[in-house]
Structure 1
């Protein structure tokens, strides 16, 4: 196959262009086209997810709004509390692709809405509503259970966006937006225990925590913002609440063991000390 490709490149190249230059140009063009297709696929995937979220929320929000108006304790609950991105938020973060930023806010908005609907449903159940109210409450619980796959997809997409921001070692999205999203993810995982057994979700959380811990303990912060270490610490604390506490503890213990092993190598083999906090 490689020989066939090489022969084809030799036959197709312009007369005044070397095979190497022509081949490198083909690779560059293919790489750019592949990136564009990947970006388009990600955008369409995020849009489909958002449309599913809108359909799910609109099918439940009307009756939950009635419950909210009827009960004083639920009266303060807002189904869509996530504010639009303000000018201050834009200043707090560096330039980021609009699709990533929009995706994070949309997903955070949906997660917060599901959390609020669950709270309203629970409050309605506690008040002992009868008749139609009891029927509506049962219907809401059934619909919430049917959102399992959508909740999982939204949590995974949100965590992937957070991981991307953390891996860049610069918080391209407002730290407040990241904290709000983490808060919603952790709170929803607390309300829906099934999410804790979802392997992709747990795996991404561990990857995020490993990146954050690395930012906290690394010595060379020349490629990071001045307050990156404090921001990383705040995000780790966001993952320290139940039920994600156990996952955070596992990652921290893992990193402590790695650093302890490194210290042992330094003492025994005179290796240079790395990753010390300054």
Structure 2
């Protein structure tokens, strides 16, 4: 589909709602902030909010719905989190049991939705400085990896960070760090540069989520904290129910990226 980068958020969400776009959202509605989704029963909501507060790099909170409401009143008040993402993952007792394009049938009055910052947000700023974003070039999902980087525990929420990776030319790494550090609400600066084995990644060609991308000669793998971390946590703590975005299939908010840039 042509012109996906020029769609406004409402138009993009309309494609998701009608299942006309069931693919990763990298490069869509360029200039508008994308977000990760986590949906939990209300009895787990405080502990999860505390987990996010203690781990702001992988889990920066952008918006939280009222109990039972699927509407993110701050991020996009005319949207519906049950249908306005391309694809969802459903975890039951820590097991990924379903991938769905509509979670209306699972929604009930005790659920709370969390929108977390997404690193897709700072990609426009990288592109403006002619720093390549490989998964956009190759038309695939960003590669994401489980790591040995420990998160700070909160209640039952305990586990390790997930990171996303972008290959950056060595001459651009310093600029990439500087640019992304201006977006602390959407993961900010990298958590690791080069040497993936140091953070528990044994084979960079085999991501745990998303797709592998080409790392060209002279490029360095750079790793950012990732909002898929809660899905890794869910596999460890095994809640009765956690609904999330499918990795790379994000919610597109009404906010512009510039609103999250700290100059």
TM-score (norm 2): 0.26
Which structure's CA Rg is the greater one?
1
The structure showing larger relative contact order (alpha-carbon pairs under 8 Å, at least 6 residues apart) is 2
Structure ranking higher in helix proportion: 1
